[in-house]
Amino acid sequence: MKIVVIGGTGLIGSKVVEKLKQKGHAAIAAAPNTGVNTITGEGLAEVLAGAQVVVDVANSPSFEDQAAMEFFQTAGRNLTAAEVAAGVRHHVALSVVGTERLQASGYFRAKLTQENHIKSSPIPYTLVRATQFFEFVRAIAQFSTDGNTVRLPPVLFQPMAAEDVSTAVAEAALAEPVNGTVEIAGPDTFTLDEPVRKVLEYDNDARKVIADPAAPYSGVKVSEKTLVPGAGARLGSTRFDWWLAHVPPPKK
């Protein structure tokens, strides 16, 4: 099959492209740096010609409320129009577990708008909702830091490796559309402060992690189960401790 991966040069997209190619499919990485722009529409019609499946793992370059909303609305409209014109048979999109429970955040309001647009479009679809990536844990520490202290609510947290996310997305692209949502998560459940504390210890980072029930997550008040999937989620195989010891941190 010809499968176009929107956001195909990023962390997840590049892995999805590689996994699909390994299975013998014509997977194309579509991103502004490959001449395809879902906001301006540049290159969309050309890259989608003859494509059976579109995988969208692109993210808004800004987490600011209005910028994120405009990104997902504009990209969604342009993608759907181009998919209809090209006769695409399956749209796969990556979203976030708990999106509907994080609506105090403008970014997650934008993600829910994206999901609802996909559901209302005429293209058969599969929504893959993932928990936070292991690769995002250091960023959680950054946006939760106050001075030399990291304050996090000790709510349930079931992160997963980007490698496992990309495997699940690639599998969804090769399966029939479910016209619904699939949840994926890591194999182990922690409290949110635990993996952050482990990463900082591994990095020899002197910041102190404090479990504070009043602390927000990404500026949003969360409850015990806000960030974890429901029953029946598909679990990745990579454990956090193995990942921490074997996957080098990103270059500064």
- pTM exceeds 0.75 for this model: yes
pLDDT, tens digit (0-9, with 9 covering 90-100), for 85-142: 999 999 999 999 999 999 999 999 999 999 999 999 999 999 999 999 999 999 999 9
Give CA–CA dist 55/129, Å, rounded. 13
Mean pLDDT of 199-210: 96
Task: Work out the number of other CB atoms within 10 angstroms of the CB of residue 146.
Answer: 10
pLDDT band of 219, cuts 50, 70, 90 = confident
If we measure between CA atoms, which residue out of 58, 69, 173, 70 comes closest to residue 124? 173
Q: For the residues 221-249, what does the mean pLDDT come to?
A: 95
58-77 pLDDT, tens digit per residue, is 999 998 999 999 999 999 99
